[in-house]
């Protein structure tokens, strides 16, 4: 390794012309593909490059633990860079001792750098994190060396001794910061061995390669053998999805072997945690492809003509960086296999047995069966969903209890240690408290999402609305639970993104036209509006479902202007695309109280909000609402309840809708 790309190229050329050595260059002047090829050539056991010449920047992020000799053609002025160079080889997967070579001329500046690193920091023989700390205290001399200024022998010897002393002091400080008791308690070999054995057993039990081969075949992804335990995976010409998650447009070369992956950094190492595999699982769970089937079977004890419905309900906590909530609530699948009398055959007929005995049904026969049994199937699915929600609630409660108990024990342990050990920091205690807070929020969210389908179903069962508007769905379009909504008997148009926001419009009939977002919205626009026009017996009806910005406060530099712009865009759309004589519905939480009766927080709080500029009934906000009313909109809630001040029309999925539906 050397500092510059020019030197790396010179080394390769000199070795080729002077010694006839096959060497490969690896530097920032090459494209990513060229670097991949250079690394792969060097990694080949047979007919590979004998030597790889890397530049400092070009080798960043690339590791060569299969190599055992490191030649340094120069030394960096930053000790951290030297650590990185050595770390290219000295890492997990390195099977031998790394041998470091540094050719230099005697009485040169390079010789002084070598002495500083070796005799002062001992950086060649031991990995250390103190090099940068020491260098920060010796900048004057190091800058002189970089400029080519060589000190006299006495001054230099004194400097080396000072370096060794500073390094020793820094190591002592680092050692003092270690808590031997915590380290001892944190590493329990017997427990660790069981965990490792468990992971190995799971990996052996859940064979990834045959699973992925089935997924690729199902979704039209092309895969072919590259070499032993390696595949070339590419998007197929007839894929059933627009883009396969985790698979680049130009494909990838991947392996299921850890050993091969450690030696070939141009290969993706496929495990159950790889983005492509996670994407495949999510696609299978959330997509429509392959999630419903009609089959015939013959099983002893079940009368001919019996219709059974099998449904799988999943419960899963979302991933949170730094907090593994899924150890308390792993993804759970609840299976129902019921007939119309709600008799559960699932305990006696396993999925494997059922799959083995199922036969295909002619598509025309399947359609006739579905059409004839539609209402019975829909009713049974609703009952299954109620049963699943009850089970899911119990699972979340158990997960919450286990998580809180474990974290409380850890918190008490650290609090006790802190009384006798000052090295236990307050930040460690706060981190545990934060984990409890975030973990409970994630579990609440998982339970809320599981309950949300049921709450929505309750609204449908009681009121059978023609239109339902959903806001803040927080789901990408590809992950929208389309089948769950369609099972309720509704068509749905949705408009979501990768992060927050998102809206959906449910209707009993499909719209004749749809508009997602305002006409001038760009790709970066927040997904806050979906509109549809519907043909009805009394004429067309246009429904606009909006997730209106809250605005926070008048002086907020981003949120308040966004709210103002949203209302302006809405008014512009009404004025340019629609007429006050049209049948138009605008639905959503407007985040504005048009009259004082709508405020509901008491006069004193209302005055304080106005004084501090908090949004919801600022004069300018009411002016925006007034412009909508001037165009022709009317507040339907106030038309029905002109005088009341204790009823409100907004609630979220965490509320008990069975009490609020009236």
Q: Specify whether the CB–CB gap between 23 and 15 falls below 8 A.
A: yes
Tokens of 662: 């009236």
H/E stretch holding 139: helix 139-146
Chain position carrying tokens 């005697």? 106
d(CA 114, CA 134): 16
SS3 132: helix
Tokens of 308: 């059974």
Tokens of 25: 């260059």
SS3 516: strand
Let me know if 603 is exposed, middle or buried by CB neighbors in 10 A (0-12, 13-18, 19+). Answer: exposed
Closest CA to 24 of 48, 56, 58: 48
Closest CA to 122 of 84, 176, 160, 72: 160
Tokens of 146: 């970089």
Q: Does 591 carry a binding-site annotation? A: yes
Q: Specify whether the CB–CB gap between 532 and 585 falls below 8 A.
A: no
Tokens of 83: 């650590």
Q: Does 472 carry a binding-site annotation? A: yes
Tokens of 115: 């002495």
Q: To 10 degrees, what angle do helices 363-420 and 426-463 make? A: 150
d(CA 140, CA 102): 25
Reduced 3-state DSSP string for 587-611: ECCCCCCCCHHHCCCCHHHHHHHHH
Chain position carrying tokens 């000072």? 162
Q: Does 629 carry a binding-site annotation? A: no
- As a whole number of Å, the end-to-end CA separation of the chain is 74
Tokens of 328: 């308390």
Which residues define the annotated binding site for Mg(2+)?
Answer: 472, 589, 591
Binding-site sequence positions:
472, 589, 591
């Amino acid at each position: 390794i050397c500092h510059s790309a020019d030197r790396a190229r010179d080394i390769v050329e000199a070795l080729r012309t002077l010694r006839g050595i096959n060497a490969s260059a690896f530097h920032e002047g090459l494209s990513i593909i060229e670097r991949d090829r250079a690394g792969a050539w060097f990694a080949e056991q047979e007919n590979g490059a004998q030597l790889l010449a890397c530049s400092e920047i070009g080798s960043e992020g690339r590791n060569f633990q299969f190599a055992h000799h490191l030649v340094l053609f120069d030394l960096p002025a930053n000790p951290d860079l030297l650590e990185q160079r050595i770390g290219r080889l000295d890492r997990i997967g390195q099977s031998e001792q790394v041998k470091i070579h540094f050719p230099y001329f005697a009485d040169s500046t390079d010789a002084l750098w070598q002495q500083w690193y070796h005799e002062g920091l001992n950086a060649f023989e031991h990995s250390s994190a103190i090099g940068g700390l020491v260098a920060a205290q010796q900048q004057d001399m190091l800058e002189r060396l970089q400029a080519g200024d060589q000190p006299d022998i006495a001054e230099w010897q004194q400097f080396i001794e000072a370096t060794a002393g500073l390094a020793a002091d820094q190591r002592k400080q680092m050692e003092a910061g270690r808590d031997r008791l915590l380290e001892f308690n944190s590493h329990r070999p017997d427990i660790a061995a069981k965990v490792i054995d468990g992971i190995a057993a799971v990996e052996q039990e859940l064979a990834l390669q045959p699973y992925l081969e089935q997924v690729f075949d199902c979704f039209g992804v092309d895969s072919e053998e590259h070499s032993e335990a390696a595949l070339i995976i590419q998007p197929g010409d007839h894929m059933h999805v627009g883009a396969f998650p985790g698979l680049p447009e130009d494909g990838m070369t991947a392996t299921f072997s850890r050993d091969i992956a450690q030696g070939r950094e141009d290969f993706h190492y496929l495990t159950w945690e790889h983005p492509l595999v996670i994407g495949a699982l999510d696609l299978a769970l959330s997509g429509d492809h392959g999630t419903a089937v009609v089959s015939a079977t013959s099983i002893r004890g079940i009368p001919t003509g019996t219709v059974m419905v099998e449904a799988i309900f999943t419960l899963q906590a979302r991933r949170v960086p730094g907090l593994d909530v899924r150890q308390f609530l792993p993804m759970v699948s609840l299976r129902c296999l019921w007939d119309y009398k709600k008799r559960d055959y699932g305990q006696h007929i396993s999925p494997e047995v059922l799959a083995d005995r199922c036969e295909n049904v002619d598509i025309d026969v399947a359609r006739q069966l579905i059409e004839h049994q539609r209402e019975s199937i829909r009713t049974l699915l609703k009952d299954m969903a109620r049963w699943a929600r009850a089970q899911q609630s119990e699972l979340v409660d158990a997960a919450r209890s286990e998580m809180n108990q474990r974290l409380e024990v850890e918190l008490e342990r650290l609090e006790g240690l802190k009384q006798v050990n000052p090295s236990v920091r307050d930040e460690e205690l706060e981190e545990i408290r934060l984990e409890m807070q975030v973990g409970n929020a994630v579990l609440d969210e998982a339970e809320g999402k599981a309950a949300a389908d049921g709450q929505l179903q309750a609204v449908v069962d009681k009121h059978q609305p023609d239109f339902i508007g959903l806001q803040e769905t927080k789901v990408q379009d590809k992950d929208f639970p389309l089948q769950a909504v369609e099972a309720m008997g509704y068509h749905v148009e949705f408009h979501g993104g990768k992060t927050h926001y998102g809206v959906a419009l449910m209707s009993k009939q499909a719209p004749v036209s749809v508009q997602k977002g305002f006409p001038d919205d760009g790709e970066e626009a927040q997904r806050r509006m979906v509109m549809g026009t519907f043909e009805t017996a009394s004429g067309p009806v246009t429904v606009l479902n909006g997730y209106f910005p809250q605005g926070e406060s008048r002086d907020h530099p981003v949120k308040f202007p966004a709210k103002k712009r949203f209302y302006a865009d809405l008014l512009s759309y009404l004025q340019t695309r629609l007429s006050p004589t049209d049948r138009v519905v605008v639905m959503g939480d407007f985040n504005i109280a048009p009259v004082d009766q709508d405020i509901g927080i008491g006069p004193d709080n209302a005055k304080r909000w106005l004084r501090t500029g908090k949004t919801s009934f600022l004069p300018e906000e009411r002016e925006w609402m007034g412009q909508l009313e001037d165009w022709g909109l009317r507040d339907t809630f106030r038309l029905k309840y002109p005088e009341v001040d204790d009823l409100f029309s907004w609630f979220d999925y965490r509320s008990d809708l069975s009490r609020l539906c009236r």
